[in-house]
Amino acid sequence: MAPHKLTRIHVLLFIATFMTTTFAGALMNNVIPWEHPEKIYLGLPFSLTLLLILLTHELSHYVMSRRHNVDASLPYFIPAPSIIGTFGAVIKMRPPIPDRRSLIDIGASGPIGGFIIAVTATVIGLSLSEIKPTGQLQEGLSFGSSILFDLLSKLVFKVDLEKYDVMLHPVAFAGWIGLLVTSLNLLPIGQLDGGHIIYAFFGEKHQWISKGMIPVLIFLGIAYWSGWIVWAVIMIFLGYRHPPVVYPWIQLDRRRKIIGWIAFVIFILTFTPTPVKGL
């Protein structure tokens, strides 16, 4: 199968996303891009870090798809006028997928690849961040934390973080987003990466796990963060089912099971019940 070509739309979307994420990064540094265009370069640390995380995630999917002769496109980046400047990146992947082993390889490669870059960025970014005694910040947004982000913060700052607020450096914020995106992709629903992995493990029983996650998301939306309800609606719209593999009788080998469990551990470590809240 011939590899997909890099098209004009790929390039234009990447350039647009590079611009919007750079603008977002500049705003994080209190630079208004249209008032001080000469200072837009201050948005590059955030932009380049986030794009690298997203690119690694999607290219990992792409490489594994090509390895298993699954038709997949190169990544499409999605620019957005938002606080981070993007809605992420996607690849187009067309069934059929040969078997459960290839499904694990394809589904888990993106989260694992992006996770490695996100952790690296988080550690570097935290070392550049500042901490202030709790209570000094009066307004703005507060970003939630995962088990892993808490652990990395404690290792870097070596203080009791219950008494301090962390002022995230843009690189650390990009790493935080990367960890959040990893956990969202690993939700065991439909055709998300987590859905691929669950289907590889449980076959047609996947749809019951997928359906069962909807009330879980609604509960999380009521108890922690209303955005989970939006995710539940999106997942209902996209559907619970997963396309069947061509050779379902081929069982997972030990290596693929380990990869699947690694992805599950990453999901637990990166899951953030309340990603955003006001101060």
Tokens 């209902």 correspond to 236
Query: Residue ranges of the alpha helices (H) in the chain?
Result: 8-28, 44-67, 100-127, 147-157, 170-185, 193-202, 206-223, 227-238, 254-270
> Residues 258-269: what's their mean pLDDT?
97
Neighbouring C-beta atoms of residue 117, cutoff 10 Å: 22
pLDDT surpasses 60 at 104 = yes
Within a domain: 180: yes
pLDDT value for 254: 95
Query: What would the pLDDT profile of 201-220 be if each residue is shown by its tens digit?
Result: 998 889 899 999 999 999 99
| Strand, helix or coil for residue 142 | strand
Query: What would the pLDDT profile of 17-64 be if each residue is shown by its tens digit?
Result: 999 999 999 999 888 888 888 899 999 999 999 999 999 999 999 999
Handedness of CA 201, 205, 207, 213 (dihedral sign): negative
Given pLDDT bands bounded at 50, 70 and 90, which one contains residue 241? confident
Q: End-to-end alpha-carbon separation of the chain, Å?
A: 52
pLDDT value for 114: 97
Q: Round to whole Å and give the CA distance between 189 and 185.
A: 9
pLDDT surpasses 60 at 1 = no
> Residues 239-254: what's their mean pLDDT?
91
Nearest CA-CA partner of 28 in 85, 80, 66 = 85
pLDDT surpasses 70 at 221 = yes
Given pLDDT bands bounded at 50, 70 and 90, which one contains residue 67? very high
Given pLDDT bands bounded at 50, 70 and 90, which one contains residue 239? confident
Within a domain: 242: yes
pLDDT surpasses 60 at 189 = yes
pLDDT value for 139: 62
Within a domain: 2: no
Within a domain: 40: yes
Domain that holds residue 244: 8-278
- Is the model more confident about 267 or about 136? 267
Within a domain: 3: no
pLDDT value for 252: 95
Within a domain: 1: no
As for how many domains the chain has, the answer is 1
Query: What would the pLDDT profile of 108-122 be if each residue is shown by its tens digit?
Result: 999 999 999 999 999
pLDDT value for 122: 97
Q: Round to whole Å and give the CA distance between 32 and 130.
A: 22
